[in-house]
Amino acid sequence: MPERSTGQTQKLHEAAKNLEASFLAEMLKAAGVGKTREAFGGGAGEEHFASFLAEAHAKNLVDRGGIGLAESIFNALKERQNAQSHTE
Protein backbone atom coordinates (compact mmCIF):
# COMPACT_ATOMS: atom_id res chain seq x y z
CA MET A 1 0.00 0.00 0.00
CA PRO A 2 2.84 2.53 0.59
CA GLU A 3 3.72 2.46 -3.15
CA ARG A 4 0.18 3.45 -4.06
CA SER A 5 0.26 6.20 -1.47
CA THR A 6 3.55 7.52 -2.86
CA GLY A 7 2.14 7.41 -6.39
CA GLN A 8 -0.96 9.29 -5.28
CA THR A 9 1.18 11.86 -3.49
CA GLN A 10 3.27 12.41 -6.62
CA LYS A 11 0.13 12.83 -8.73
CA LEU A 12 -1.28 15.36 -6.26
CA HIS A 13 1.98 17.29 -6.20
CA GLU A 14 2.15 17.34 -10.01
CA ALA A 15 -1.47 18.53 -10.23
CA ALA A 16 -0.71 21.31 -7.74
CA LYS A 17 2.34 22.40 -9.74
CA ASN A 18 0.28 22.44 -12.95
CA LEU A 19 -2.36 24.62 -11.30
CA GLU A 20 0.28 27.07 -10.07
CA ALA A 21 1.84 27.17 -13.55
CA SER A 22 -1.57 27.91 -15.12
CA PHE A 23 -2.18 30.67 -12.61
CA LEU A 24 1.25 32.21 -13.17
CA ALA A 25 0.85 32.00 -16.95
CA GLU A 26 -2.37 34.01 -16.74
CA MET A 27 -0.67 36.57 -14.48
CA LEU A 28 2.26 36.86 -16.88
CA LYS A 29 -0.11 37.33 -19.82
CA ALA A 30 -1.94 40.06 -17.89
CA ALA A 31 1.43 41.71 -17.16
CA GLY A 32 2.21 41.78 -20.86
CA VAL A 33 4.74 38.96 -21.21
CA GLY A 34 4.76 37.88 -24.83
CA LYS A 35 2.82 40.86 -26.17
CA THR A 36 4.00 42.05 -29.55
CA ARG A 37 6.00 45.23 -29.66
CA GLU A 38 5.05 48.02 -32.01
CA ALA A 39 8.53 48.45 -33.53
CA PHE A 40 9.34 44.79 -34.18
CA GLY A 41 5.93 43.19 -34.49
CA GLY A 42 6.09 39.65 -35.82
CA GLY A 43 2.57 39.62 -37.14
CA ALA A 44 -0.03 36.95 -36.55
CA GLY A 45 2.54 34.22 -35.92
CA GLU A 46 4.03 36.08 -33.01
CA GLU A 47 0.61 36.67 -31.50
CA HIS A 48 -0.22 32.97 -31.69
CA PHE A 49 2.96 31.88 -29.97
CA ALA A 50 2.97 34.58 -27.29
CA SER A 51 0.89 32.41 -24.96
CA PHE A 52 3.48 29.62 -25.25
CA LEU A 53 6.14 32.04 -24.05
CA ALA A 54 4.10 32.98 -20.97
CA GLU A 55 3.42 29.28 -20.23
CA ALA A 56 7.10 28.40 -20.57
CA HIS A 57 8.07 31.21 -18.20
CA ALA A 58 5.41 30.09 -15.74
CA LYS A 59 6.59 26.46 -15.77
CA ASN A 60 10.15 27.64 -15.28
CA LEU A 61 9.06 29.74 -12.29
CA VAL A 62 7.27 26.76 -10.74
CA ASP A 63 10.28 24.48 -11.32
CA ARG A 64 12.40 27.02 -9.44
CA GLY A 65 10.07 27.11 -6.45
CA GLY A 66 7.24 29.28 -7.70
CA ILE A 67 5.36 31.54 -5.32
CA GLY A 68 4.32 28.82 -2.89
CA LEU A 69 0.88 28.33 -4.37
CA ALA A 70 1.58 24.73 -5.43
CA GLU A 71 2.54 23.77 -1.89
CA SER A 72 -0.67 25.27 -0.50
CA ILE A 73 -2.76 23.51 -3.13
CA PHE A 74 -0.92 20.24 -2.51
CA ASN A 75 -1.53 20.45 1.25
CA ALA A 76 -5.23 21.15 0.71
CA LEU A 77 -5.56 18.24 -1.73
CA LYS A 78 -3.68 15.92 0.64
CA GLU A 79 -5.92 16.89 3.57
CA ARG A 80 -9.01 16.30 1.45
CA GLN A 81 -7.69 12.92 0.31
CA ASN A 82 -6.93 11.93 3.91
CA ALA A 83 -10.38 13.02 5.06
CA GLN A 84 -12.04 10.99 2.31
CA SER A 85 -9.99 7.90 3.09
CA HIS A 86 -11.01 8.08 6.76
CA THR A 87 -14.72 8.26 5.91
CA GLU A 88 -14.60 5.24 3.60
Predicted TM-score of the model (pTM): 0.77
Could you tell me how many residues make up the chain?
88
Cβ neighbours for 70, distance < 8 A, ≥ 6 positions apart? 13, 16, 17, 19, 20, 62
What tens digit of pLDDT does each residue of 43-76 get? 667 777 888 888 999 999 999 999 999 999 999 9
Q: What is the pLDDT of residue 70?
A: 95
- Is a pLDDT exceeding 60 seen at residue 84? yes
**Euclidean distance between CA atoms 59 and 14, whole angstroms:** 12
Residue 36 pLDDT grade (very low, low, confident, very high; cuts 50, 70, 90): low
Q: Where do the structural domains in the chain lie, given as residue ranges?
A: 23-87
Residue 33 pLDDT grade (very low, low, confident, very high; cuts 50, 70, 90): confident
